[in-house]
């Protein structure tokens, strides 16, 4: 039998990035989702295309050799597929991990292969695979007495992914338009510490210590991208490249990334020159007009992006504790709080409601997860008070 990967999430990252690389490696990909429309399209279509967009033009890859299962209606089939798979990946969003955990736990429990299943969560969140593993090993999904057996059947590896998926054409169907640049870094430790070789996946960079890569990516790519989006929205720009053509916005984004770069260099031992080169590369990437990246798409889900470990408050909280400057990041946080009542974005509506219903301190505690013990707390409270008065 050939290689088989189960991928949870039939969205653009799943089809256009993860499945593309798995297909290139030679895996049969089994998509799992609860969305009837996406599963039906995948089941009725034998191929789709991934168009990579870069400065050198476009490259089209055709993806085949996949199947699709609706886990809402055919859970037993998903369990059976996991029981005989080589790899499980997901791109469902950090908040959905707890919902896919039960069926993965059942699939692992039924495995008889001597080769451990590889599980890699491909989410924009630090330690997403650890989070998923925690849900899978919750006693409600995997009884405590089975944990030792469970651990022998699976290897959990955190990963960091970096690839921009812009707004798709209305008539795209399953086809995905995606940035040509990508980075997919996965920790190798779960295999090397037991003397077992990690699985082969096209394009993956395997590293012993993932944390520097995750934080560099989250605090540079995601911080810069979101900063451009929130300032761009505030100034009525349509696309990210429009926002970055505004010299003042571009200057602010550079200032925010100078602050995060200070943290990255001090914390992870990356050189100033290397980080400066990385920042310039990232700003050039997100400025690409061919991506036609809509600011509201990039800014959506502001509640998650304003949380303590995310792209603004993650670095800002650490910098403030060190006594370092966070003025530019505070400006980005203010713009994110102003991102309210955006059509099609439930979190932006909920953010507006929270700001109306609570005082500033309560908002900061509820939305940001900060307390009065955090040095940055009073600064964020002032921002919320200003936004509430606006």
Is 177 part of the annotated catalytic residue set? no
* Tokens matching residue 83: 């029981």
Contacts 24+ apart (CB under 8 A), 339-347: 339/230, 339/233, 339/299, 339/302, 340/302, 342/233, 342/296, 342/299, 342/300, 343/296, 344/296, 344/300, 345/296, 345/299, 345/300, 345/301, 345/302, 347/300, 347/301, 347/302, 347/303, 347/304
Token duo for residue 282: 């990232």
Catalytic residue among 177, 217, 237, 305: 217
344 φψ region: left (φ > 0), alpha (ψ -120 to 50), beta (else): left
Query: Using CA of residue 168, residue 181, residue 201, residue 119, what is the dihedral sign?
Result: negative
Interaxial angle between packed helices 247-268 and 327-337, expressed in degrees from 0 to 180 and rounded to the nearest 10: 120
Which are the catalytic amino acids? 217
């Amino acid at each position: 039998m050939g290689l088989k990967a189960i991928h949870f999430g039939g969205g653009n990252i799943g089809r256009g990035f993860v499945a593309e690389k798995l297909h290139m490696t030679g895996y049969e990909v089994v998509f799992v989702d609860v969305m009837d429309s996406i599963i039906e399209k995948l089941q009725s279509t034998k191929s789709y295309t991934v168009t990579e967009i870069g400065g050198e033009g476009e490259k089209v890859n055709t993806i085949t050799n996949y199947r699709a299962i609706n886990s809402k209606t055919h859970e037993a089939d998903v369990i059976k597929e996991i029981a005989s798979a080589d790899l499980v990946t997901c791109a469902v969003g950090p908040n959905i991990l707890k919902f896919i955990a039960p069926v993965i736990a059942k699939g692992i429990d039924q495995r008889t292969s001597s080769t451990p299943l590889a599980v890699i969560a491909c989410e924009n969140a630090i330690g997403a695979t650890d989070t998923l593993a925690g849900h899978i090993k919750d006693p409600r999904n995997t009884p405590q007495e089975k944990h030792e057996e469970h651990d022998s059947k699976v290897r959990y590896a955190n990963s960091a992914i970096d690839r921009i998926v812009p707004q798709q054409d209305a008539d795209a169907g399953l086809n995905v338009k995606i940035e040509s640049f990508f980075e997919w870094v996965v920790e190798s430790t779960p295999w090397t510490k037991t003397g077992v070789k990690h699985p082969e996946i096209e394009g993956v960079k395997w590293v012993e210590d993932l944390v520097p890569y995750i934080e560099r990516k989250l605090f540079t790519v995601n911080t810069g991208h979101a900063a451009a989006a929130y300032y761009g929205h505030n100034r009525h720009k349509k696309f990210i490249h429009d926002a970055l053509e505004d010299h003042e916005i571009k200057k602010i984004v550079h200032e925010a990334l100078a602050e995060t770069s200070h943290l990255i260099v001090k914390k992870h031992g990356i050189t100033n020159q290397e980080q400066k080169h990385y920042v310039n590369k990232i700003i050039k990437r997100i400025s690409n007009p061919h991506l036609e990246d809509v600011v509201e798409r990039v800014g959506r889900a502001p509640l998650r992006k304003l949380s303590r470990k995310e792209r603004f408050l993650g670095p800002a909280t650490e910098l403030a504790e060190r006594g370092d400057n966070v003025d530019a990041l505070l400006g980005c946080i203010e713009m994110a709080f102003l991102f309210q009542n955006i059509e099609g974005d439930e979190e932006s509506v909920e953010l507006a409601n929270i700001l109306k219903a609570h005082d500033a301190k309560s908002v900061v505690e509820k939305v940001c997860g900060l307390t009065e013990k955090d040095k940055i707390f009073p600064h964020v409270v002032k921002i919320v008070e200003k936004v509430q008065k606006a």
